Amino acid sequence: MAEGERIDVGQKPLLSIITINYNQAETTRQFLESARGLTYPNYEIVIVDNASEPALHTQLDSTAYPHLRLIRSEVNLGFTGGNNLGIDQARGDYFFIVNNDTELNAMLLELLLQPFGTDGRIGVVCPKIFFFDQPRHVQYAGYNAMNMFTGTATVVGYDQPDSEQYDVPGPTNFAHGCAMLVSKEVIDKVGRFAERFFLYYEELDWSQRILDAGFIIYYQPLATILHKESVTVGRNSPLRTYYLTRNRILYMRRHASWFQRYVFYTFFATLVLPKHITSYLFAGQTLQIRAFLRGILWNFRSTSTSSV
């Protein structure tokens, strides 16, 4: 496809829905049930069973879902590796990377596909994401720019009641790992997720690489999805603390200039570290302290910032 050429979405390209299961058979079944209502006619569902015990195929009747292909990994590949395995096995022209703890609306795929027909530079389209337990509260309506001195990027509309200000479509700074429709052209040119991240910050890293390659990440508010959020990991899990800490630093190592890294390291050492340690101590959360410190130390031990 020539640069800037529009895609004829009237051709009904094949969409590969890719999701990961990790010890969440019932959540995945609910996801598949919601997919029954999809009105788009040409799609497949690729589920990567990420070393679940017991294996998903023993808990789920895959013959009940005609669009489904189930792939088993005997090793937990994380969010990054699991999705990369799904991408490798998928046959679509577009890859809808979506969490299994979501519920899909009937017109979701058609509405996500629409922007690709307006501008050939669009490489990723994301829906408006709502909280499942508060279905009129926004979780994602785009991303603000990354603060390259603090290593933080805030979500537009997070935990706010839905309103007209979140109904404006257009380019955004980052895709959301919960739900993103990605063109095959992006995969061919940019590559897949950096498996080094494993979990968290991986979509921010991938988004930055996609933007650097000249693509647009587009927010499409007409398309909506409900997200149960952190079903697999848990919001207060030490595992979550470890990867958020580790990968926040890793992201900055990969994308910040030397001056931005200098400011970030100073900010992290003088403000972030003592604040987190103090708050965890007062809460008696010794496991969180260990996870936080392990996330920092990993970056001292790992000198490489490559994708593998």
What stretches of 164-272 show up as alpha helix (H) in DSSP?
184-190, 202-212, 238-255, 258-267
Question: Distance (Å, rounded) from C-alpha 202 to C-alpha 194?
Answer: 7
Summarised one tens digit per residue, pLDDT across range 207-253 is: 999 999 999 999 999 999 999 976 555 567 899 999 999 999 999 99
Summarised one tens digit per residue, pLDDT across range 87-109 is: 999 999 999 999 999 999 999 99
What's residue 176's pLDDT?
A: 97
CB 124 within 8 A of CB 186: yes
Summarised one tens digit per residue, pLDDT across range 251-282 is: 999 999 999 999 999 999 999 999 999 999 99
Tell whether the model's pLDDT for residue 125 goes beyond 50.
Answer: yes
Which of 100, 159, 105 is closest to 133 using CA atoms?
159
pTM: 0.91
Distances (CA, A) of 7 to 10, 94, 157, 289: 9, 12, 30, 49
Mean pLDDT for 183-187 is 97
Tell whether the model's pLDDT for residue 83 goes beyond 50.
Answer: yes
